[in-house]
Amino acid sequence: MTIAGFDPSGGAGVLADIKTITAFGCYGVGAISGITFQNTLGVSGAQNESPMTIRQQIAPLFEDFEIAAIKTGMLPTAEIVLEVAELIRHRPVPVVVIDPVLRSTSGFELVDRDAVEALVTQLFPLASLVTPNRLEAEVISGVQIKNEPQGERAGEMILKTGVRAVLITGGDTESDSSVDLLIDEEGSTAFASEHIESKNTHGTGCTLASALACLMAQGRLLKDAIPVARDYIRRAILNAPGLGKGYGPLNHFPRGPNTRI
């Protein structure tokens, strides 16, 4: 089950989640937390759902399906976060992956400050995994992340909220490599690959979290699931069709004799 925003252009949110869930051999159901007004050029606005409409979407799904995993994305208000947390407490599921979406790729603020606090205090303790990008991890932890030790410190701060594992994604950094940092009770593990310079990265955070939710629901250990999900994202970027004026053919990747696509 995905609980996230609706992106009419199909690049992120519930539509991207369902595409990914299907690609990983699972059956996806979903609830929409808010409707964004956007295309591939950017976001111009949003209309949030209410706690009541969230409940009316999710409760019948729990009654009809045995939910193997829940992935959440944009939860724009504290009231919505509290409603989702309450629903999960009453209907626990084996896997809960939280993608703490705070703003769009184009910089549009998607959640309010109270929602961030509710997310950390109410939903994180129910989560198997949270998947913030570097900027989201900085906001949540209060730690500026410029290097791996700072990333570890931020992850440790987020772990204190009660979540079982934190994956800080590093695809948005300006460097020759893309490093995702996993922090859990066993310590930290870095997953690195060559950085791809591309315009076709909208929705990659949504897609990664959905892929991990599917893999964990299928019984994969998190450390085994992360490389599989990362490779799926890599292939998606390299083979993106470039539809829409905001996307494009710009993909730069150092292709050597051992490069596989």
- Strand bridging mode 187-194 / 177-184: antiparallel
Q: What is the pLDDT of residue 178?
A: 84
pLDDT of residue 122 exceeding 80, the answer is yes
CA distance 154 to 100: 14
Residue whose C-alpha is closest to residue 19's, from 233, 168, 248, 217: 233
Whether residue 112 has pLDDT greater than 90: no
H helix or E strand, kind and range, residue 128: none
Which H helix or E strand runs over 124? none
The CATH class of 2-252 is: alpha beta
Distance, in Å, from the CA atom of 147 to the CA atom of 127, rounded to the nearest integer, reads 26
pLDDT at residue 173, as a whole number: 55
Residue 82 near residue 55 (C-beta atoms within 8 A): no
Distance CA 78, CA 119 (A): 7
Those residues whose C-beta lies under 8 Å from the C-beta of residue 43, and which sit 6 or more positions away, are: 36, 37, 104, 106, 108, 110
Pairing of strands 129-130, 177-184: unpaired
Q: What is residue 96's three-state secondary structure? A: strand
DSSP H helical segments within 1-110, as ranges?
Answer: 13-23, 51-64, 78-90
- Is the pLDDT higher at 108 or at 142? 142
Mean pLDDT of the chain: 90
Strands 69-72 and 2-6: parallel
Alpha carbon distance 224, 85 (integer Å): 28
| Contacts for 95 with CB less than 8 Å, ≥ 6 apart | 68, 69, 70, 128, 213, 216, 217
Question: pTM here?
Answer: 0.90
pLDDT tens across 146-202, in order? 999 999 999 999 999 999 999 999 855 556 678 999 999 999 999 998 878 887 778
